Copies of this chain bind each other. A is one copy, B any other.
Amino acid sequence: MHVFSVDGVPAVLWTPAGDDRTGATPLIFIGHGGGQHKQHPAVQYRAERFVAAGFAVVSADIPNHGDRAPDERLNQLAGTVGDIARFQALAAEQTVPEWQAVIDAVHARIGAGPVGYWGVSAGCGLGVPFVAADPRVRAAVLGLGGASANAAVAARITVPVEFLIQWDDERVPREQSLALFDALGSVDKTLHANPGGHSDRLPEHELDSQVRFFTRHLIPTESR
């Protein structure tokens, strides 16, 4: 595990041991959730599963989280449910270029392989504009987020998406979730919905499915 920072943005990189594939290691960027940080157990857990499957994984603290200095402007929005969309829109103005710079730095270190994005909840709110903006991203797991924040931007996404809904989400209305999936411009998109609330643990088979999803789209057949 390699902790670093790019222009003041704290980030962490996990790389697989003994990668003997030809070509650059595929990279998954994990966008953490609200209230979490780049090494939160929920991030670490997924990172380890992806690394075991042959991916490098990078995550970065989003504004006002983790090792970053408090941002009063964002702070005022962060706790207010009705302002989540505004918080994410404001934060995304920062995170899109920040995450692109983080990927530049990782590519300079391990080689410029294909990139995947994983992010739900705030990681979806910030992930939608990021995936739409960066053509290096070839596949994305998104979800637990609604259309109100992001429908127009989502329409610009064309890469394969695996989209998660918690069927009993008390924070994102079901119709909003379905509408965001509907808005995605991707031809290859799959919705996975499971019973449970916004913060309930996702079924383990979903992480298995995500490993296969990224493998299918980021690792050439002959290298699997």
Interface residues of A (CB under 8 A from B): 165, 167, 178, 181-182, 187-195, 203, 205-206, 208-209, 212-213, 216
Contacts of A165 in B (CB 8 A): 191
Closest residue on chain B to residue A206 by CB atoms: B190
Q: Are B192 and A190 in contact (CB under 8 A)?
A: yes
Rounded to whole angstroms, the CA-CA distance of A140 and B188 in the bound complex is: 25
Q: How many angstroms between the C-alpha atoms of A178 and B203 in the bound complex?
A: 20
Contact B190 A191 (CB under 8 A): no
Judge whether A193 and B195 touch: CB under 8 Å.
Answer: no
Are A216 and B212 neighbours in the complex by a CB distance under 8 Å? no
The 7 closest A-B pairs by CB, nearest first: A191-B193, A190-B194, A192-B192, A190-B192, A189-B195, A187-B195, A191-B191
Instruction: Please pick, from B182, B187, B191, B208, the residue contacting A192 in the complex, using a CB distance under 8 A.
Output: B191
Q: Which residue of B lies closest to A187 (CB)?
A: B195
User: Could you tell me if B208 and A212 are in contact, using CB atoms closer than 8 angstroms?
Assistant: yes
Known A-B contacts A209-B209, A212-B205, A216-B205; A167 and B193 likewise in contact (beta carbons under 8 Å): no
Q: How long is the Cα–Cα vector from A195 to B206 in the complex, in angstroms?
A: 19
A194 to B205, CA, bound (A): 18
Asked if residues A203 and B191 are in contact (CB atoms below 8 Å), the reply is no
Nearest CB in chain B to that of A190: its residue: B194
